[in-house]
Amino acid sequence: MPIPNTPIRLPIPPVPRGFRMAGVHAGIKRDATREDVTLLTSDLPATAAGVYTTNLVFAAPVAYDRSLTPGCGFRGVVVNSGNANACTGERGLDDARAMATEAGRVLGVAGEEMLVLSTGIIGEFLPLAKVSAGIAAAAASLGANDAAAVSAARGMMTTDTRPKLAGKTFAAAGSSYTVFGMAKGAAMIGPKLATMLGVVLVDAAIEPADAQRLLVEAVEETFNCVSVDGHMSTNDTVLLLANGAAGGATLHGDGLAECGRAVRDVCELLAREMADDGEGATHVMRIEVEGSETRDDARRIARAIADSPLVKTAVHGADPNWGRIVSAAGYAGVAFDPAVLVLRVNGTLLFRAGAPVPFDAQQVSDAIRNSRETLIELSVGTGPGRIRFHSSDLTADYVHLNADYHT
């Protein structure tokens, strides 16, 4: 099934100082209009942090990057799409190292200073000759303008219909800084991270341990709160690079906290974009759970709702079938009193105190049908736990895309 192209939904953010990027078509994908190799480079040595899939079956680039981060002295990231380099044994590890070495060679830096990301079909060896040609072409096209950012984001895409880019600025100790993020992800999204690649760039100076903590915290509240189909990937990776090109002292204290908030905001925008661009999606679901004993409890309830095929199909069909939502919450494995549940969909009260509330079903159905986003709000008690979770509906196009993915 052909993958459609849809317009970029968010404003194209500025690239932070000292970073350049490009994406090119190298022939890994059959469609010559779709980029499949991306190169990102920092003019200055950068701190790098990473968060990775928890799948026991993980791809070669995950093993490679995980062995190097967190750390400092990095000069960039090389990415290919169309081939995951997963379940490829020792040859896969050698190929990941070869990607880093080749990227370092064309940039004039050591291979160990380059990180590697891959995404695509599992169980096929990388076409290294094509990847190497793509690296050389991308190196010759590096830039920091809008076109460079869009091409780089496109080079990460698989079944995504559009590039996903987000940015934020913040100030600390009299200096202004820029955070830039790009991500891919449209399916195999969940239960942690998503089937996703993400790169966040910051032109502030940050210590490796602080960068790792900021990234872990941001991922926990954003990419770990999105699900399209509940299938965890072998390649999930989010990288953070901070190069200090904006000047100013290394961030600590309040400045570091400001940076953390900006990184989290960028990741939140990208996570929502992934749910919105879920394969075949016609609606994005924003699920807000509150009143649980802990945040993790709220997350488990939200995830049960997000992953329910019955909830997803109800949203697709604009069916205000509140029983599916309540029952999904009930099997999430979290203790709560059903007599205190309160459920609203798009602001309309549907269920309270263990019983349905009279409502205009046609009005609620129309509200779901006529809005891209469906808001599901569930209160399960009076505890401090709360979460915001994003997901998408389940459509016939999702089935077609995944039935035809390999062919």
User: Residue 363's domain is classified under what CATH number?
Assistant: 3.10.20.340
Instruction: Clarify whether residues 198 and 261 are in a common domain.
Output: yes
Residue 254 pLDDT > 80: yes
**Do both 69 and 217 map to the same domain?**
yes
The mean per-residue pLDDT over the stretch 372-383 comes to: 95
Query: Pairing mode, if any, of strands 71-83 and 37-52?
Result: antiparallel
**Residues 306 and 204 both lie in one domain:** no
122 with 184, same domain: the answer is: yes
| Ranges 40-54, 280-294, 315-329: which has the least confidence | 280-294
For 63-84, the DSSP string reads: HHHHTT-SEEEEEEEEEEEEE-
Of 274, 309, 334, the one marking the end of a domain is 274
Give the domain-ending residue among 241, 256, 274.
274
The answer to whether 126 and 118 have CB atoms below 8 angstroms apart is: yes
Query: Does residue 169 surpass a pLDDT of 80?
Result: yes
Q: Are 61 and 137 part of one and the same domain?
A: yes
Assigned domain for 14 exists: no
> Which of 104-118, 264-278, 293-307 is least confident?
264-278
Are 146 and 183 found together in one domain?
yes
User: Considering the domain boundaries, does residue 85 fall inside one?
Assistant: yes
Report the chain's terminal Cα–Cα distance, integer Å: 9
306 and 253 co-located in one domain: no
In the chain, the percentage of residues whose pLDDT exceeds 90 is: 76
Q: Give me 103's structure tokens.
A: 């990227």
What distance in Å separates the CA atoms of residue 355 and residue 260, rounded to the nearest whole number?
A: 42
Q: What residues act catalytically?
A: 195
Domain that holds residue 158: 19-274
Determine, yes or no, domain membership for 13: no
Here the tokens at position 330 are 């009930």
Residue after which a domain boundary falls, among 274, 299, 329: 274
Same domain, 250 and 306: no
Q: Are 134 and 232 in contact (CB under 8 A)?
A: no
Nearest by Cα to 261 from 302, 204, 306: 204
The residue written with tokens 């991308």 in the block is: 138
* Residue 145 pLDDT greater than 80, yes or no: yes
Model pLDDT for residues 49-88, shown as the tens digit of each residue? 999 988 888 999 999 999 999 999 999 999 999 999 999 9
H or E element, residue 284: strand 284-292
Q: What's the predicted TM-score (pTM) here?
A: 0.82
**Do residue 39 and residue 175 come from a single domain?**
yes
pLDDT digits (tens, 9 = 90+) for 79-122: 999 999 999 999 999 999 999 999 999 999 999 999 999 999 99
Give domain status of residue 144, yes or no.
Answer: yes
Does residue 2 sit within a domain? no
pLDDT beyond 50 at 359:
yes
pLDDT confidence bin for 190, thresholds 50/70/90: very low
With b meaning 16 or more CB within 10 Å and e meaning fewer, what string describes 347-385?
ebebbeeeeeeebeeeebbebbeeeeebbbbbbbbeeeb
Least confident of 8-12, 25-29, 210-214, 297-301: 8-12
CATH assignment of the domain containing 137 = 3.60.70.12
In a domain, 62, yes or no: yes
Looking at residue 233, what DSSP letter applies? P
Q: What are phi and psi of 150, to 5 degrees?
A: -65, -45
Residue 405 pLDDT more than 50?
Answer: no
CA distance 58 to 2: 28
Clarify whether residues 229 and 289 are in a common domain.
no
Q: Give strand ranges (E) for 85-230.
A: 114-121, 164-172, 175-184, 197-202, 226-227
Place of tokens 């096209």: 141
Mean pLDDT of the chain: 91
Q: Is the alpha carbon torsion for 171, 219, 374, 280 positive or negative?
A: positive
**pLDDT reported for residue 230:** 45
Q: What's the structural domain count of the chain?
A: 2
Q: Check whether residue 292 and residue 240 sit in a common domain.
A: no
Residue 12 counted as domain residue: no
Q: Is residue 330 part of a domain?
A: yes
Same domain, 104 and 139: yes
